[in-house]
Amino acid sequence: MTSAPRRPDTPAAGKVLRVAGPVVVATGLDRTRLYNVVRVGRRRLIGEVIRLSGEMAVIQVYESTGGLQVGSDVIDTGAPLDVELGPGLLGQVFDGVQRPLRTLAADDDHPFGQPFLRRGIDVPALSEREWDVRLTVSVGDEVEVGDVVATVQETPAIDHRIMVPPGRAGRVTEVCNGPVMTSDAVIWTDDHPVALTSRWPVRLRRGAKQRLDPVTPLVTGQRVVDMLYPVARGGSAAIPGGFGTGKTVHEQTLAKWSDADVIIYVGCGERGNELAEVLEEFPRLVDPRSGASLMDRTILIANTSNMPVAAREASIYTAITIAEYYRDQGYDVAVMADSTSRWGEALREVSSRLEEMPGEEGYPAYLPSRLAEFYERSGAVEALGTPDRHGSVTVIGAVSPPGGDFSEPVTQYSLRLAGTFWALDADLARRRHYPAIHWNRSYSLYELDRWFDEHVDRDWSRHRAWALELLGREDELQSIVRLLGADALAPVERVTFHTGRVLREDFLQQSAFDEIDAFCPLAKQFWMLAVIRHAHDLLVDRASAEDVDAAELTSSPVLAELGRMKLWSPESCEERARELIGRLTAEVGTA
Amino acid sequence: MRDRGLRVVELRTVTYVSGPLLFIDHAHGVHAEEVVEVVTPDGEIRRGQVLEVDGAKAVIEVYSGTKGLDLATTRIRLGGDSARLGVGGGLLGRMFDGSGQPTDGGPPPMPEEFWDVNGLPINPAARRYPSEFIETGISTIDGLNTLVRGQKLPIFSGFGLPAGELAADIATHARVVGAEQDEFVVVFAAMGTTAREASFFRRHLEEGGRLNRTVLFLNLADDPTIERLLTPRLALTAAEFLAFERGMHVLVILTDMTNYCEALREVATAREEVPGRRGFPGYMYTDLASIFERAGRLHGHSGSVTQLVILSMPDDDITHPIPDLSGYITEGQIVLSRDLHRRGLFPPVDVLPSLSRLMNAGIGAGKTREDHRPIADQLYSFYAQGRDLRRLIAVVGEGSLSPADRRLLAFADAFEQRFVDQDGRRPLTETLEIAWKLLADFGNDELKRIPPDMLERYRTDD
Ligand SMILES: Nc1ncnc2c1ncn2[C@@H]1O[C@H](COP(=O)(O)OP(=O)(O)OP(=O)(O)O)[C@@H](O)[C@H]1O
Ligand SMILES: [Mg+2]
């Protein structure tokens, strides 16, 4: 954004005419284009042209506009808002317009200002350092856009692939020799440099050879997700919920444990401490698949609620563009956006300053199309160029509905776009049933049963269907009990009632803070459910065959073991499950 | 609040006065958001702030109201600077009005520096995650919704509920285990509170011997409403100075944010903005965040700013935009219940909707006790079930309850009487002791939230 290529002629200079919060109206920018980046005022605040009308350019400013005057200078950079892409992104924290926040925090020439964000600061996103490059092409080769020409070991787990950017296809005329610096070229095609880093306009989606059907789940280690409502790699999920119901914990949990290669975590209009938490925790956690630090596969985009509101809008685009870039290298990327509502509110705030005609709840009429643009940038693709690479971007968007009421516009439009819906329930959160994802109100439109049957156990989908049905049945029984008391249930119904509770408490509840249970591998999920189902079948047989007291049946001491399965170590879970199934048959199966 | 620098421009071009707003013309050279002085026809000086500049026009909000202003003789003085507070060690022990003028009879304290009252956003990468347990002496907070240094935690109250008493108790009793007590200072900001409440608070701190470690900014019920937009910013600027320049641990108490939000609505209405939910402006979330996010700890700085914010829920409605938007920004909430209050319990904290999001970082082995989290989860689970059963027996009667259900019902009552209700300060160890006693009636298999080894170590029901 800052060192963007400028037009050779002198930049057009305009003048501020009006300042209203994050919106500035300027005149005299005759040659500017929509979405060009401009610099406003003495401090050269970063802004983006969002509307042109007659003489006037409307600019949303990504920094606080306090102190600007009518007549202040506005300079057109001639380039749209873009991001810098290249090795060194992983492990970093950026603000909404990709300024490196850790670099800014470490800047110690200002004794007190340093932990606070000052305005008009220009720092390149990627810091200058040396990289070892492995070339995959040689002089004389013909290369196309998207071809991998070199790789760089960015982190122990990620081999960063340098691809030919648009406009640079051609014959390789020169290659680098030995390590290069961040800003250097790795090869030359037709005598033009192909640099280690490249830039991409954030509002433009990156192309691919073709879109692929999402048929593989993003495995999260969360039982309610993987077993009941999974999301596909390249798919999208929305998680709406009132305040304190668990959106952020869920996003962070998935950022920690899901089996994506790269995680982009966007704190959009949320709390500073939540990012501090990620920054303190992730470097200490080990990625179970790569053995490296979790921070090594994570990029944070932080535009907290007290940071300039317009930059929230940019942060989502910055994130998704970086995600597409890693996707094109052939990686599975997950974007956690917390919260898309704050992004929607930023649109609303800017729109209302423009005195646009408000739509539903004051949101601009283009809210649904903007949301769609974002969600539609998720997907599994076959990337451009050679060698063949498949990658995906999965989007997981938190939604913060006012008053926890899901009928509001951002929730409703998100539901139309996302394939998986995790409905957070305030009542469950109040009773500390975590994750507070409601089992009867959530859904997943992805057809992933086959994958699970093939990769975990062929009974996976049958157990899943059984669990869903039982939970639905329990819900009906609940309403009977609420009206008539538990006495009104027949013995078999009492068993169902009992098993529903076991499913909720001993299977679906999963504390994100429990050392063992925070992550539950698929095999363990399967065996836990297999045990519960076995116990249920035994109880139903007994309850329907004999004249026994269901309450007595369900109080058999061996059943209490079901509550301890969460703490089983993943390695021994199958063995322990088989043993418990045996004990259940012996102790519950017969009178 | 004081302004520094020379007054460079004086305008006499007021064209329109409406509510708290002044509209001026020929406003060349006006800076967005700069602070101005408004000289009334009687020569009185009032402070205001520029809200918008548009060509030759500007809109100004006047903190102390527009009463008595005219178009012909009212003058506007521009200094080109934002609102600033003179900060220094001399703030401690002093009392100011809601715009920062001393009201304790003393001279203005010697400023060491003038700080912009709007502060600057904290770089999230510079934050230190809060993790130090503050013992408030209140069981429902320490045991179940633990407060930590650098947290922002509101008390969701209702009109007539004792939020002020609870906050005053915490301000006088709170301590950090192992820390020196005089590191801890209180900055109190009142927005539209009654003189009775303000003096109650002051007396409480005085009796606790903490008044000389306190800074008070009081905008009372009959003080200008628009000034309330300034008061919390003054308080937080003072707090940031004491915390990050002086290394102190500052507890900021803001009361009542509902009055603040109403002032915000008043300005929005006068500007004829498109109203959001219940007439509050669409940017209220962002505005509140610019206050609440000014809490925390920083790398390389020893002090901290902790916020305890009181807000009244209109009609006790937690979905009202004021508590709703606050809850989306703060790190949890303590919710007071009218029902518990009517039944004479103090503090009347309804633990079910209450939450502290930073609790996990501040508790557990090495910080409080290893059984702290499991105990809290177990109490929550039983109390939620007990409360459901209370509703159930209202329909089907007690007769249909199983013995297990009866125990849960009894638990809910005992929990309220013995755990929630308290008389005087309780150390955490005592809070946990009471908790274990309440669980004594349940078998180990029923205590699902507590790991077996902890049951063995801590169960006290022999
Ligand atoms: N899976 C979980 N395991 C354990 N605790 C959880 C879990 N999910 C949520 N919680 C608890 O709920 C609290 C609130 O969760 P979280 O901060 O994620 O809410 P939120 O929906 O993001 O709220 P807001 O919209 O205000 O940001 C957490 O601090 C934690 O105590
Ligand atoms: Mg959250």
- Give the chain A residue nearest B355 (alpha carbons): A244
**A405 interaction partners in chain B (CB closer than 8 Å):** 319
**A511 interaction partners in chain B (CB closer than 8 Å):** 377
pLDDT score of A107: 58
Q: CATH fold of A127-196, please?
A: OB fold (Dihydrolipoamide Acetyltransferase, E2P) (2.40.50)
Give distance in angstroms: CA of A358 to centre of ligand 1.
32
Mutation target vs A (from B328, B335, B352, B405; most A CBs, 10 A cutoff): B328
- Kindly list the protein residues whose Cβ atom lies closer than 6 A to any atom of ligand 1: A 241, 243-249, 270, 400, 434-435, 511-513; B 328, 355, 357
In contact, B87 and B111? CB cutoff 8 Å: yes
- Give the chain A residue nearest B318 (alpha carbons): A403
Three-state SS string over B256-300 comes to CHHHHHHHHHHHHHHCCCCECHHHCECCHHHHHHHHHCCCEEECC
Q: Is the pLDDT of residue B53 over 50?
A: yes
Q: Which residues contact A244 (CB under 8 A, 6 or more apart)?
A: A429, B327, B332, B333, B355, B357
Q: Which residues contact A61 (CB under 8 A, 6 or more apart)?
A: A22, A23, A24, A40, A45, A46, A47, A308, A310
B307/B294 Cα distance (integer angstroms): 8
Nearest to B24 by CA among B45, B46, B54: B54
Which tokens hold the place of B243? 């915390």
pLDDT in tens, B275-299: 888 899 989 999 999 999 999 999 9
Which tokens hold the place of B391? 């509703």
Counting Cβ atoms within 10 Å, is residue B206 exposed (0-12), middle (13-18) or buried (19+)? middle
Average pLDDT, whole number, for chain B? Answer: 91
Give the 3-state secondary structure of residue A335: strand
Nearest to B371 by CA among B458, B462, B445: B458
Q: What is the CA radius of gyration of chain B?
A: 25
- B199: closest CA of chain A, how far (Å): 33
pLDDT score of A591: 63
A247/B395 Cα distance (integer angstroms): 35
Counting residues of chain B whose pLDDT is more than 70, the rounded percentage is 97
User: Which residue shows structure tokens 């402006």?
Assistant: B281
Mutation target vs B (from A70, A104, A477, A552; most B CBs, 10 A cutoff): A70
Beta strands in B313-348 (DSSP E): 332-336
Of A400, A511, A560, the CB nearest to B445: A560
- A20: closest CA of chain B, how far (Å): 5
B158/B256 Cα distance (integer angstroms): 11
Nearest to B142 by CA among B455, B412, B420, B331: B420
CA-closest residue to ligand 1 atom 28: B357
pLDDT score of A110: 54
Cis peptide before B256 (omega within 30 of 0): yes
* A210-356+385-445 and A460-587 in the same fold: no
**B33/A112 CB distance under 8 A:** no
pLDDT tens string, chain A, 591 residues long: the values are 444 444 445 556 899 999 998 999 999 998 899 999 999 999 999 999 999 988 899 999 999 999 899 999 999 999 999 999 999 999 999 999 999 998 888 856 554 447 898 888 888 999 999 999 999 999 999 999 999 999 999 999 899 999 999 999 999 999 998 899 999 999 999 999 999 999 999 999 999 999 999 999 999 999 999 999 999 999 999 999 999 999 999 999 999 999 999 999 999 999 999 999 999 999 999 987 888 899 999 999 999 999 999 899 899 999 999 999 999 999 999 999 999 999 999 999 888 888 888 888 889 999 999 999 999 999 999 999 999 999 999 999 999 999 999 999 999 999 999 999 999 999 999 989 999 999 999 999 999 999 999 999 999 999 999 999 999 999 999 988 888 877 788 889 999 999 999 999 999 999 999 889 999 999 999 999 999 999 999 999 998 887 777 778 888 889 989 999 999 999 999 999 999 999 999 998 876
The residues pairing with B133 across neighbouring beta strands, listed in sequence order, are B148
Backbone dihedral angles phi then psi of residue B456, each to the nearest 5 degrees: -60, -45
In chain A, domain spans: 13-80, 127-196, 210-356+385-445, 460-587
Domain A460-587 has CATH 1.10.1140.10: yes
Beta strands in B268-328 (DSSP E): 296-298, 304-312
In chain B, domain spans: 2-82, 85-360, 372-458
pLDDT score of A7: 47
**A431/B331 CB distance under 8 A:** no
Which tokens hold the place of B65? 């109201």
Give distance in angstroms: CA of B158 to centre of ligand 1.
25
Task: Dihedral sign for Cα A144, A150, A154, A159, please.
Answer: positive
Counting Cβ atoms within 10 Å, is residue A480 exposed (0-12), middle (13-18) or buried (19+)? middle
Report the amino acid identity of residue A61: V
- Residue B396: band (very low, low, confident or very high) from pLDDT cuts 50, 70, 90: confident
Cis peptide before A392 (omega within 30 of 0): no
DSSP string, A108-126: -SSTTTTTB--SS----SS
Query: Is the pLDDT higher at B4 or at A542?
Result: A542
Question: Of ligand 1's atoms, which has the minimum distance to the CA of residue A436?
Answer: 8
- Residue B449: band (very low, low, confident or very high) from pLDDT cuts 50, 70, 90: confident
Q: What is the CATH number of domain A13-80?
A: 2.40.30.20
- Flag whether residue B355 sits within 8 Å of chain A, measured between CB atoms: yes
- A557: closest CA of chain B, how far (Å): 8
CATH of the domain spanning A210-356+385-445, picked from 1.10.240.10, 3.40.50.300, 3.30.930.10, 3.30.360.10: 3.40.50.300
CA-closest residue to ligand 1 atom 16: A246
**Is the complex ipTM higher than 0.85?**
yes
Q: Which DSSP helix (H) or strand (E) runs through B380?
A: helix B372-396
Give the 3-state secondary structure of residue A217: strand
Distance of CA A529 to the CA centre of its chain: 28
**B329 interaction partners in chain A (CB closer than 8 Å):** 271, 305
A530/A551 Cα distance (integer angstroms): 22
pLDDT in tens, B253-282: 999 999 999 999 999 999 888 888 889 998
Rounded (10°) CA dihedral A131, A135, A136, A140: 150
Q: What is the CA radius of gyration of chain A?
A: 27
Give distance in angstroms: CA of A100 to centre of ligand 2.
23
Domain B85-360 has CATH 3.40.710.10: no
Rounded (10°) CA dihedral A527, A531, A532, A538: 150
pLDDT score of A16: 95
Backbone dihedral angles phi then psi of residue A400, each to the nearest 5 degrees: -115, 85
DSSP annotation of A136 = S
pLDDT score of B460: 72
Backbone dihedral angles phi then psi of residue B393, each to the nearest 5 degrees: -70, -20
Q: Which DSSP helix (H) or strand (E) runs through B54?
A: strand B45-54
- A269: closest CA of chain B, how far (Å): 8
Give the 3-state secondary structure of residue B421: coil
B184/B239 Cα distance (integer angstroms): 11
Half-sphere exposure of A274 (CA within 13 A, CB side): 33
Nearest to A354 by CA among A50, A76, A72: A50
DSSP annotation of A67 = T
Of A104, A404, A505, the CB nearest to B448: A505
Q: At what angle do helices A367-375 and A309-328 cross, to 10 degrees?
A: 30
In contact, B335 and B316? CB cutoff 8 Å: no
**CATH architecture under which domain B2-82 falls:** Beta Barrel (2.40)
Choose which residue among B129, B330, B357 to substitute to test ligand 1 binding: the one with the highest number of ligand atoms within 8 A of its C-beta.
B357
The counts of H helices and E strands in chain B are 13, 22
pLDDT in tens, B77-110: 988 888 899 999 999 999 999 999 999 999 999 9
Nearest to B134 by CA among B197, B202, B183: B183
B357/B289 Cα distance (integer angstroms): 17
Question: Of ligand 1's atoms, which has the minimum distance to the CA of residue A253?
Answer: 1
Nearest to B365 by CA among B457, B299, B438: B457
pLDDT score of B181: 62
CB neighbourhood size of B202 (10 A):
18
CB neighbourhood size of A1 (10 A):
24
Q: Report strand pairing: B184-193 vs B249-255.
A: parallel
Mutation target vs B (from A93, A275, A432; most B CBs, 10 A cutoff): A432
CB neighbourhood size of A245 (10 A):
26
